Structure 1
Amino acid sequence: TYSHLFSLPLYLQVILIFVYVLMKESVEIAPVPYTLQVHRVALDGRDPSNPLRREKKQMHCQLGQYLHPRKTHCCMRCHAGTYKAKDCDHPDQATVCLPCADGTFTAVDNTISKCLQCTKCRTELQQIIETPCTPQQDTVCGCQKNQYQVDSESEFFQCRNCSSCANGIIASCSKNKDAICRCKPQFFLSRNNICKPCNSCTGEECLHCHSPVTASPTSSGLNGNLILGILVAIFGVLSVLCIAHKIGKLVQKNRIASSFYSC
C-alpha cells in the first residue's frame, strides 16, 4: 500500500496524509466527554448518568416546630415559661423542656437553652413594680400616682412628679407627659412648667408674652371726667324734677285752701 502511495503525485500524497491525521485525532478525542462527566460528578456530587438520583430537598418545619441542629428532622418548640434542655432525637420524640427558675422567664415559645433574667425596677429612679415577674412574663415597672415617666421607651426611665398648676390646667398629667399649666395674663409658662411674670422672660420664652394694652393718661382722664359729668347731670335733672313736683303740689294745696275760705 505504501508503494502505491508513493507512486501517486505529490499533491495527492499530501492530501491523503492530512485526512489520515484528522481521522486519528477524532478517534482519540471521543472519550473526552465522558471524562468531563466523571469530573463533574466529582465536583457537585451528582451522577448525570443516573437519572433516578435526585437532590435532597431542604426540610421545612411546621408552626411551633424547629429544625434539629443536624437538619435531619423537626422538633417541637418549648412553651412560654420553659426552656430547651435537650433536642428531640427522633420526630416522634418530645423535646426536653424544663421550667424557668425564680427570677427568670420566657414570654413566648422558644428554643433557647436558658431562661431570661427578670427586669429589676430601679428605685434610684423612683420606679415601682406594677406587675411582678412570672415564669411567663417579665417585670412591669412604672411610677407612683401623680408621677409621669421621662424617656419611657428606655429601661432607665425616670419618674417625676406632675406639676401642680395653680392657675388651671390645659392638659392633665399622663403616663408619659407632664401636665400643661395655664398662666394668668402677663405671665408665661417656663420650660420647667412654672408660670413666671413676663417682665422676667428671656429669649424665646418672651414669645409667649403678649404686650400689655395700656391707655394714655390723657385719654383715661377724659373718659373718667365724661362719665362723672354725665352722672352729675342726671342727678341734677332728677333733683330739679323732684323739687318742681313738690312745689306744684304745694301751690295746688294753697289754691284749694284759699278758695275754701273765700266762700
Structure 2
Amino acid sequence: MKAFFFLVSFLGVFPDVYQTLAIPLPNALLIHGEPIGFNTSSHREKRSENVSASCSNHEYKPKKQNYCCPKCLTGYRVAKDCSGVGQAPHCVPCESGTYSDIPNNSKRCVSCTTCLTQYGQITLSRCSPGKDTECGCPEGHFKQYSGQDFTCQECTTCRNGTQAFKCHDDKDTICQCFYNFFFHVSEKTCRPCSECEGSECKDHCPNPEKVKNPEENKGLLWTGLGAAAIMAVVVLIAFGVYIYYARKHPSPPHKSTDSIGRTPSSNNNEDKEDSKTIKNLEDENIYIVQHSTQPLLQNGSLPLPDITNIQSPPSLNTPEVKYAIIDSIPLRRWGEFVRRLGLSDHIIETSEKDHRHYGDAQYAMLQVWLTRDGGPTTKRDQLFNVLREINLGGCIEKIEEYL
C-alpha cells in the first residue's frame, strides 16, 4: 500500500517530469545537430544565400562578392572589379615588358620572355601587350630542345648526297647518300662504302669487303681509257693504209657484159669457152649482180664507199620504253623519281587528277618530261643519272633492253 501511495504522489507532484519522460525516442534524435520537430527553415534559407554564383568561361567572380564580372580582353589586365551584375570591370593595357595573350581577370600581366643569345637564339618578333616574345634560330640552324629551352645547332650539309628533307624548325637535315656511300650518324656525313666497318652501313653497303678502294677504281678507269685510245689509234692507222693503197692501186675498169654476165668477143675460141660456161651455169643457181652505175674517178677507179656508220641515238619516246621505265621503278619511289627529273608538284597533281588509272598518269608525266628541251642522248643520260642518285641503278639494265 505504501508503495502504491508513493507512486501516485510522485505522479501528482511531478507531472512535467512525467511528460518529459513520455516523449517517444524517435522524436529525440538529432539531424545535423538539430532536434527533430524544431523549426529550422529560416536557418537553412540563410545558408543557401551564401552559395557562390555560377560564372561562364568569359566571366569571373570577385572576392567576397556573389555576382560575376566579364573578363578583360587580350592585352589588358583588371585594375578594378565591376561593381555589380551587368557592370564591366576597369581594364587597363599591359605595361611595357609585360603581356596577356588570353582573356583574364589577373591584376598583373605576365613578364615578356627574353631570348637566350648564349644559346644562339634570335628574336623573331618582339613582345607586345597581347603576345609574348617569339624566339628562334638564324637561317641554316635548327632547334635542339633541352627541357623548356633550346639551343640553335647548325644544319647538316649533305656532301656526297642529296637532301631528302630540308632542315626546318626543330628538325635537322635528312640526307640521301649517293650510290656506294652510307650516312655516318655521329659525323652526320656521307662516307664511302670502302670505310664501312660497323653495322650502321650494312644496309647501304651489303658487301663492304668487296667494295674497291677509290684509288683502285681510278686505276681501272685510266687503264680502260688507255686501251680505248690505243684501239682508236690502230683503227685510224688501218683506215689510212686502206685509203693509201686504194688510191695507189685503182681497180681496172669493168667490161660490159650481157644479161648472163658474158663479155662479147669475136674470137671463136672464146665463144666456145663461153658456150661451155653457159652450159655449166645452167646446172647451177646463178645470181647476177648489177654493177654500180656511179661515175668513175679521173684515175679510172670507183669512188670509195662511205664507211662512216652513223647510228641514231636510242629514243626514249616510244611506248615500249616508257612502259619499261614505269614497270622498273617501284611505285613508292615514283614521286621522288619524277621530281628529280624536274617535274613540278603542279604537273604531278594535274596528271593524277586527269587520269583515272595511276599507270596512265605515270605515262603522262613521262611524256611531259620527254617533250622538254634536250636530245635523246641528253634525256637518256639524265634518266640514268637520276636512277643512280636514288639507288635504283638496277633498273637501268631493264630499261636498256628496250633501247
Instruction: In structure 1, give the amino acid aligned to 2:199.
Output: E
- Tell me the secondary structure at the aligned position of residue 253 of structure 1: coil
Partner residue of 1:83 out of 63, 74, 77? 77
- Residue 17 (structure 1) aligns with: none
RMSD: 4.3
Offset of residue 95 of structure 1: 2.2
Give, in whole Å, the separation in 2 of the partners of 1:158 and 1:141. Answer: 11
Offset of residue 134 of structure 1: 0.4
How far off is 1:121 after superposition? Answer: 1.4
For 1:196-229, what per-residue CA distance to the aligned partner results, in whole angstroms no more than 9, with x for missing partners? 12343443323342215679xxxxxxxx9xxxxx
Residue 91 of structure 1: SS of its match in structure 2?
coil
Corresponding residue for residue 28 of structure 1 = 21
Rounded Cα–Cα distance in structure 2 between residues aligned with 1:99 and 1:135: 7
The partner residue of 1:200 within 177, 187, 195 is: 195
CA distance in 2, matches of 1:4, 1:103: 97
User: How do 1:99-248 and structure 2 match up within 5 A?
Assistant: 99-151=93-145, 155-166=148-159, 167-191=161-185, 192-208=187-203, 209-211=205-207
For 1:253, the equivalent position in structure 2 comes to 254
Of the two, which has the highest radius of gyration? 1
Gap change, CA 1:250 and 1:80, over 3 Å in 2: closer
The SS at the match of 1:98 is strand
Deviation at 1:78, TM superposition (A): 1.8
Q: Shift of residue 64 of structure 1?
A: 1.7
Residues 81 and 99 of structure 1 are in contact (CA less than 8 Å); yes or no, is this contact kept in structure 2?
A: yes
Question: Alpha-carbon deviation of 1:71?
Answer: 4.4
In structure 1, distance between residues paired with 2:196 and 2:37: 87
Tell me the CA shift for residue 182 of structure 1: 2.4
Q: Deviations over 1:225-258 (max 9, x none)?
A: xxxxxx9xxx9xxx9xx9xxx9xx95883798x9
Instruction: Give per-residue Cα distances to partners, 1:113-172, cap 9 Å, x unaligned.
Output: 211111111222222211211000001111222322222x85421222222223322222
Aligned to 1:218: none
**CA shift at 1:181, angstroms?**
1.7
Q: Secondary structure at the match of 1:205?
A: helix
1:49 matched to which residue of 2? Answer: 39
Tell me the SS of whatever aligns to 1:84.
strand
Aligned AA for 1:198? C
Does the CA contact (< 8 Å) of 1:37 and 1:48 recur in 2? no
- Where does structure 1 lack aligned partners over 5 or more consecutive residues? 7-23, 216-223, 225-230
CA contact (8 A) 1:105 1:117 kept: yes
For 2:3 and 2:133, how far apart are their aligned partners in 1? Answer: 107
2:390 corresponds in structure 1 to none
With the length of structure 1 as denominator, give the TM-score of the two structures: 0.63
**1-structure distance, mates of 2:68, 2:201:** 69
One-letter amino acid of the structure 2 residue matched with residue 49 of structure 1: N
Gaps of 5+ in 2: 6-16, 213-223, 225-230, 258-262, 269-403
Contact 2:97 2:111 in 1 (8 A): yes
Asked whether the equivalents of residues 193 and 211 of structure 2 are also in contact (C-alpha less than 8 Å), the reply is no
The alignment of Structure 1 onto Structure 2 pairs a total of residues equal to 213
> SS state of the match for residue 129, structure 1?
strand
CA distance in 2, matches of 1:47, 1:110: 49
- 1:11 maps to what in 2? none
Pair 1:79–1:254, CA change in 2 (3 A): closer
Q: Percent identity?
A: 28
Structure 1 counterpart SS, 2:191: strand
